Structure 1
Amino acid sequence: MVQPRMGMGEAAAMRAGLLAVKRAAADTVGTLTIDSYTRVGRHDAARIALDQGQDLNGYPLPAHPAATTRALLDGVWDDSFPVQVRHGSAFPLPIVRSAIDLGLVATEGGPVSYCLPYSRRPLRESVRDWARCCHLLAQTRTAGADPHLETFGGCMLGQLCPPSLLVAISVLEAMFFHQHGLRSISLSYAQQTSPEQDAEAVAALRHLATELLPDTDWHIVIYTYMGLFPRTPEGATRLLAHSARLAVHTGAARLVVKTTAEAHRIPTVSENVTALEVASEAAARERAAGPPAVPQDTGVLEEARSLVEAVLVLHADIGTALESAFTRGYLDVPYCLHPDNAGRARGFVDRDGRVHWADLGALPLPRSARCLSADRLSASQLLASLSYMAARFDAPVLNRADHTARASDPLEFTK
C-alpha cells in the first residue's frame, strides 16, 4: 500500500485531498497530517489562523470542532480506506486524545523519535507522555477498536545515521508500545543512500521484530528518502521508484511517498496522487521481475542486536531503559543537537553510498565498527554526504541538459 504525507488546514480541502487519494489508481492509505502550530502545542495560534482564513501546512485536529472533522471523514474513511494521523509532535497527548475521540486510532510517533529531532523537551517527559498515549490507544479495544501505532524510530536523521541505530531505535520503540498495551504496530525504516545496505537493514529489522515481538501484529513501513531531495522532476521520480523497489524487495507492507515538489514547496493534491500512482506502478513492475537477491551480511543485524540488548539490560521498564541509554551514550544519534543526546557519535556516506560510523562515542559496539578512513572528515565532505542522493539522481538530467545547451551554442564549437 502507498501513503502520502498530506495535510491541509481547511476541512473541505482536507476532505477533497483524502477523496483524491482514495480514488487514486493504487492501493492507498489516507493521511491527516497535522500542522506546525499544533505540533508544537500552539493550539491557540492554530485556532486564530483558522478564524483568519490563513493557509496552514496541515490539519489542526484539536482546533477544529469534532463535528467538522466527523463531516470531513464521512463517506471517506471506511474499511477499505484507513486514515492515519501523522503529526511529528513532541507534545502528542492533545493530538492523540482528539483523534481517539473521533475514532481515529491509527497514528505514529515514539518517545525518542518524536522528541529528539523535533524539540528540546526532556526525554523523560516524552517517555511519560508516550506511555500515556499508548494506554489511551490500548483502552479503545474495549470499545471494539483496533488501535495501531507506528514507530518513527527508523527515520530519525536517517541520512547520516548508520542503519543499525535506526533499526535498534525502531525495534526498541515498538517494544515500548507493546509493553504499554499495543498489539498492532508498524516498524519504520527510511530509505538511505545504498540499496544494498537498506535491504540488509530492513532484513535485520524484520529479524529482530520476529524475535522480540512474538505476539504482535506488526508490519514494516518504508519511507521514501527523507534527506535533501532531487530538484529535477526526473530525478525525484527516479528516487521515488527506487524506494518502491526497496519496499518490494524487503517485503514491506506500506510505502510513505514523496513527490517531485519536495525540494521546492509543499506539494499539491495532484502531485501527491501522481507520486502514489508512480510508486504503485514501480512496485508492480518490480514484483513482476521476480524475487530479489538475498542481501549481503555486512554486520547491520549484529550491530543492531548489540544496541538493543545493551538498552534492555538497563531496566525492565523500556522507557526508563531508553532514558538511561541516552544518558550513558549507549544510544547516540549523529548530529542531533537535543540536550539529552550525547552528540559524540558521527556518521558519513562513502563513495558507494554506504553509511558508516566515523566515531562511535560511547556506543556499545566493537571498535571495528568504526571506519578508519573517516579520521579527518571535513565540512565539505559532510555537506557532500547530505546532498549525495540529490546529486546522484539529478546528475543524469543536469548533465544531459548541459550537453544540449553546449551543442546548441555556436560559440561552443569555436573554443
Structure 2
Amino acid sequence: MTVDFGEFVRRAADQGHLVVQPRMGFGAPERMREGLAATKAAHAVTVGTLTLDSYTRVGDLDAAATALREGTDLNGYPVVTHPPATTAAVLDGVRGPDFPVQVRHGSATPIDIFWALMRLRLGATEGGPVSYCLPYGRTPLADGIRNWEACCELYTRMREVGVEPHLETFGGCMMGQLCPPSQLVAISFLEAMFFAQHGIRSLSLSYAQQTDPTQDQEAVAALRRLCRELLPTPDWHVVIYAYMGVYPETFGGAYRLLGQAARLAVTTGAERLIVKTAAEARRIPTIAENVLALEYASQTAAKATAPDGPDAPDGADSAVYQEARALVDAVLHVDQDIGRALRTAFQCGYLDVPYCVHPDNAGRARSYIDSDGRLRWSDIGSLPLAGIAERGPAKKIGSADLLNDLFYVRRKFDEPPQELGGAQEGELVHG
C-alpha cells in the first residue's frame, strides 16, 4: 500500500490542520503496535513514529539481538533485528493512506536501517550528514557524509515500487539547545539541499523551539524563505520540535511550553509538530502520556491564528534571516558538491556549533542567552558573520554561565509552578 508522507502532511495543512507526531519507540512488537494504534486513534491529525533503539542507532546489532533474546527492555524499536514479517505485522491494519509512519533513528551509519525500511516499504525517515554525526558520537564527518550519500541514493529506489521516499532534516535541532537559530536554520536548509542533490524530492525541514518566541518566529520565517528562494523542489514542509533541551519538571510548565510550540507552528505556517510530554524531565513517557500531549497540542493549535498567507511572515530583513543567508551562501560557494562543501565549511569554521565537542567541529564559536531571552553569539570564531551577527558585548562564558543557560527554559516555565489556567491533567482534553 502506497503511503506518501509528504502528500499526507500537505493535504492536512491545506485543510487547516497541524499534523502532530510523538517520538515513540518500544522494543516489543506488541507494545509498538499498541502505541501506533493509540496515536492513530487520538483526537488529532497524527502520523506514526517508529523510534529506533540506541543499539541499532550505533550499529551494534549483536547487542540488539542479545537484548531481544534475553527479553531485555530496549529504548526503541530494533527494526533491523526484528524479522521483516514481525514488523509487517506491527504495521498491518494500522499504517495506511490516513496514517503514514516515519522511522526516527539518530544514526551516522544508517545503511542497515535504510535496507530494513525498504524491505518494509517504509517511505519516511529523518536525519542528515551533519546533524546525525556531530552531536551523537565521534564518527568522522567525512564518513557521515559518504554514508548519507549512499543512503539517499539507495532510498530513491523506493520509487521502483511506487513509494515516494521522504526525508526530514534533523539540522534544525543541533545539540538541542544553545545553538543560535540562524545556524539551526542554515544547517537544516543545507541538509535539505544535500538530500535534493542526491535524488530526494520529498523533504521536510526541522526547527527546534528555542528560548524566545519572537526569535523562533523569525527563524521559521527565515527557513521558509530560504526554501522558497533556493530549494530545487516544491515538495517540502516545515516541522517544529517542542523544546529539545532541559525540559520543565512541573505538569503546568511542560504543557505551557508545549502549547507555545504549537502556537509557533501555526503562526509561522509550519505544517507538523513533534510533541513532548509532561514526563520528559523524568522518564520515557507512556503511550497514554503521548496521546495526551498530541491531543493538547492539536487543541492548542486549533485555537491559534494562522498567518494571512502560506508564506507569511516572510522573514524579510530579520537578524536571523540575514545570518542564516550569510552562512548558507558561504557554504554553497565553497563547492558545487554540497557534501564536500559541508566538510570544507566545518574545516574552515564557516559552520561551527557552540559547545559541540566532535573532533570535526572547530569549537571556537560561543553563544549565550541575553537578558531578553534571545540566543546571541558571544564569539563568532570564523563564522562568516562579521558585521551582521546578532551578538552582545564580548564576554567569556564560564561553566556556571553555561549551566545557568542550560536550565533557563526549565526555570522560566516552572517558576512559579502553575497549571494551565487551573486545569488538571485529566481535564486537558475532552474535559
Q: TM-score range by the shorter chain?
A: over 0.9
Alignment of 1:129-144 (within 5 A): 129-144=147-162
Corresponding residue number in structure 1 for 2:144 = 126
Q: Partner residue of 1:44?
A: 62
> Partners of 1:19 and 1:72 in 2: how far apart?
10
SS of the aligned residue for 2:168 comes to: strand
Instruction: Report the CA distance between 1:392 and its aligned residue.
Output: 0.4
1:16 corresponds, among 23, 31, 34, to: 34
162, 168, 175: which one aligns with 2:180: 162
Q: Deviations over 1:95-143 (max 9, x none)?
A: 1110111000200000000000011001111111101111111121122
Superposed CA offset, 1:334-362 (max 9, x none): 00000000000011111211000010010
Output the CA distance in 1 between the equivalents of 2:70 and 2:176. Answer: 37
Of the three residues 349, 359, 362, the one matched with 2:379 is 359
Cα offset, 1:295, TM superposition: 6.5
Q: Secondary structure at the match of 2:50?
A: strand
Write out aligned runs for 1:47-86 (5 A). Answer: 47-86=65-104
Does the aligned pair in 1 maintain the 2:52–2:76 contact within 8 Å? yes
* Distance (whole Å) between structure 1 residues aligned to residue 418 and residue 166 of structure 2: 43
Counterpart amino acid of 2:411?
A: A
Spell out, residue by residue over 1:305-333, the C-alpha distance to the aligned partner (whole angstroms, 9 max, x if none). Answer: 11111111111110011000000111000
- Spell out the pairing of 1:288-299 with structure 2 (5 A cutoff): 297-299=317-319
In the superposition, the TM-score normalised over structure 1's length comes to 0.93
Structure 1 position 382, deviation (Å): 1.6
Would you identify which runs of 4 or more consecutive aligned residues in structure 1 move more than 4 Å?
Answer: 288-297
Q: How much has 1:293 moved relative to structure 2? A: 7.6
SS of the residue 1:172 aligns to: helix
Partner residue in 2 for 1:404: none
Structure 1 equivalent of residue 261 of structure 2: 243
| CA-to-aligned-CA distance 1:149-179 (integer Å, 9 cap, x gap) | 0000001124211111011101100000000
Q: In proportion to residue count, which structure has more helix?
A: 1
Does 2:328 correspond to 1:308?
yes
SS at match of 2:293: helix
Distance 1:295 1:327, change over 3 A: closer
Query: 2:360 aligned with 1:340, yes or no?
Result: yes
Match of 2:337 in 1: 317
* 1:280 partnered with 2:298: yes
Q: State the identity %.
A: 61
> What does the per-residue CA deviation read over 1:192-227, in whole Å, with 9 as the maximum and x for residues that have no partner?
010000000100000001111143300000000000
What are the superposed Cα offsets for residues 54-73 of structure 1, whole Å, 9 maximum, x if unpaired?
Answer: 11110000010000000110
Residues 196 and 296 in structure 1, CA contact (< 8 A), matched pair in contact too: no
Tell me the CA shift for residue 372 of structure 1. Answer: 3.7
Match of 1:409 in 2: none
Q: Which amino acid aligns with 1:44?
A: D
Q: What is the aligned partner in structure 2 of residue 190 from structure 1? A: 208
AA aligned opposite 1:25: H
With normalisation by structure 2, the TM-score equals 0.90
Aligned to 1:412: none
Asked if 2 retains the 8 angstrom alpha-carbon contact of 1:134 and 1:177, the reply is: yes
* Higher Rg of the two aligned structures: 1
Amino acid at match of 1:365: L
Asked if 1:376 corresponds to 2:396, the answer is yes
Kept after mapping to 2: 8 A contact 1:84/1:104: yes
Distance in 2 separating the partners of 1:199 and 1:333: 21
Query: Distance between the aligned counterparts of 2:386 and 2:170, measured in 1?
Result: 27
Q: How does 1:211-290 map to 2 (within 5 A)?
A: 211-287=229-305
Alignment of 1:23-42 (within 5 A): 23-42=41-60
| Contact persistence 2:222–2:314 (CA under 8 A) | no
Query: Which residue in the other structure is 1:327 paired with?
Result: 347
**Within 5 A, what are the aligned runs for 1:102-121?**
102-121=120-139
**Root-mean-square deviation over aligned CA pairs:** 1.7
**SS of 1:46 mapped into structure 2:** helix
Q: Give the letter aligned to residue 269 of structure 1.
A: I
Gaps of at least 5 residues in structure 2 are 1-18, 420-431
Residue 217 of structure 2 corresponds to 199
